[in-house]
Amino acid sequence: MKHLLSIALCAAALASCCGRSEEIPGIKDFIKDDFKIGVAVSPSTVQGMEGEMILKHFNTMTAENVMKPAQVIQRDGSYDFSQADKIVEFAQKNGLTMRGHTLVWHGSTPRGYMNDADGNPLTKEQVMEKHENYIKAVFEHYPKDVVFCWDVVNEALADEPGESIYRTRSPWYQAFGGPEFIEWAFRTTKKYAPEGVQLIYNDYNVVDPAKLDRACQMLSELLEKGVPIDGVGLQAHWDNSITREQIQTAIDRFSALGLDIHITELDLTCFDNYHGNGAAERQKIKNSIHYTDELADAQAAQYAMIFDVLHQNRDKISSVTFWCLTDRTSWLNNFPIRGRLDYPLLFDSQHQPKKAFFAVKDVFTKK
């Protein structure tokens, strides 16, 4: 088995891709100390050949799902960390760090979490007590030296301009009767987080000018009140329409607030970005498309632009994380259309580096 694995790895290490036959360096080796470089994983990714790929290319990981409240908190209210532990143990054994993801997110609030046994809504105080117990348990559970930051609050902002800058339909917003849950979440996390663990606000599409305004308004108000927020996570589920200027403006505006920057969920869909107007367009194509040379070239150029901006801003950026390892397991193969293949990452579904991989490498090695 070990033998087969090393044959597979040799093949992967000396890949012949897009006319380039060369030794494949680890991404972390050419990115060097610019920022941590990571990948979102599941318990099944951290083993076998994919486990070896993670060790070759990355120095940090995010659990794609298994550290989220809805996965950890069981129906009877107990906590089950066993799936997350498989990833954390792999990190610990191999000297990788992890981004904690996430503590408060409307999308991962267990069913019935905001209700009592009879289905009546809990009071704000009851929700606070219940979730403070959860946050405390999280920090008692995970080893201090592995998880270096937490996405404390995920996606609290509205997508479209409206009466509120917040996502008012969130069960958190509703349980608290307003956005105070954000401040509460950061202050409560600060009580339990070990010294030095960074507390992050994470959201998507914040390079969109209107959403960037909303994010800066929210974050500057919180920071003025002394709420302990160390950084902002740009999820970076992007497409080819995102420009250098948009990324640079977001970095500049968040840095001006004194916030550290994390790129937390990077991938580049071959369809339109699923946010904003793109969402409607994106749903129109129902079937998988072929990953043509033209698509591969355009994606490689876009990845090169993105990593060039990140490299130029490396003093402001702590970590950059890809959302999944290869095109085979990307969530975009099932979102927004189930079963429609997308090709958003640096490695194809056979685990081979794509043109985009070499384009990123060239940004760091051709100086």
Q: Is 89 a catalytic residue?
A: no
At 281, which amino acid appears?
E
Distance of alpha carbon 236 from alpha carbon 216, whole angstroms:
17
Q: Tokens representing 25?
A: 């360096």
Q: Which residue in 128, 79, 101, 280 sits closest to 201, CA to CA?
A: 101
Tokens representing 159?
Answer: 């997508």
Choosing from 50, 64, 183, 265, the catalytic residue is 265
Comparison of 101 and 355: residue with beta carbon closer to ligand GLA: 101
Specify the 3-state DSSP secondary structure of 103. strand
Q: Which is nearer to ligand GLA, 62 or 352 (CB)?
A: 62
Residue 265 binds ligand GLA (CB under 6 A): yes
Please pick, from the candidates 45, 109, 154, 352, the single residue that binds ligand GLA as defined by CB under 6 A.
Answer: 154
Contact flag: residue 148 with ligand GLA (CB under 6 A): no
Q: Does 322 bind ligand GLA (CB under 6 A)?
A: no
- State in angstroms the smallest separation of the CB of 159 from ligand GLA: 13
* H-run or E-run covering 62: strand 60-63
Least distance from C-beta 342 to ligand GLA, angstroms?
12
Residue 97 makes contact with ligand GLA by CB under 6 A: no
Please count the CA atoms within 13 angstroms of the CA of 186 that sit on its side-chain side: 23
Residue closer to ligand GLA by CB (options 115, 349) is: 349
Closest contact distance (angstroms) between CB of 13 and ligand GLA is 29
Residue 331 as a binder of ligand GLA (CB under 6 A): the answer is: yes
Min dist CB 149 to ligand GLA, Å, is 14
| Long-range own/partner contacts, residues 40-44 (CB < 8 A, 24 or more apart) | 40/64, 40/265, 40/321, 40/322, 40/323, 40/324, 40/325, 41/87, 41/325, 42/66, 42/87, 42/329, 43/83, 43/86, 43/87
Residue 22 CA from chain centroid, whole number: 30
Residue nearest ligand GLA, CB atom distance: 331
Q: Are 231 and 183 in contact (CB under 8 A)?
A: no
> Rounded distance, CA 36 to CA 318, Å?
6
Q: Nearest distance from residue 58's CB to ligand GLA, in Å? A: 17
User: Could you tell me whether strands 198-203 and 260-268 are parallel, antiparallel, or unpaired per DSSP bridges?
Assistant: unpaired
Residue 204 is a binding residue for ligand GLA (CB under 6 A): yes
Please tell me whether residue 35 binds ligand GLA under the rule CB under 6 A. no
- Closer residue to ligand GLA (CB): 40 or 359: 40
d(CA 284, CA 275): 14
Identify whether 160 is a catalytic site residue.
no
166 vs 358 by CB, closer to ligand GLA: 166
- Residues contacting ligand GLA: total by CB under 6 A: 6
Minimum distance from CB of 320 to ligand GLA (Å)?
Answer: 15
How many CA atoms lie within 13 Å of 12's alpha carbon, on the beta-carbon side?
A: 23
Tokens of 41: 């994983």
Per-position x/- string for 225-264, each x denoting binding to ligand GLA as judged by CB under 6 A, each - no binding: ----------x-----------------------------
Residue in 50, 64, 155, 183 annotated catalytic = 155
Q: Which is nearer to ligand GLA, 156 or 304 (CB)?
A: 156
- Considering only CA atoms, which of 206, 194, 330 is closest in space to residue 257? 206
Catalytic residues: 155, 265
Which residues lie near ligand GLA (CB under 6 A)?
Answer: 101, 154, 204, 235, 265, 331
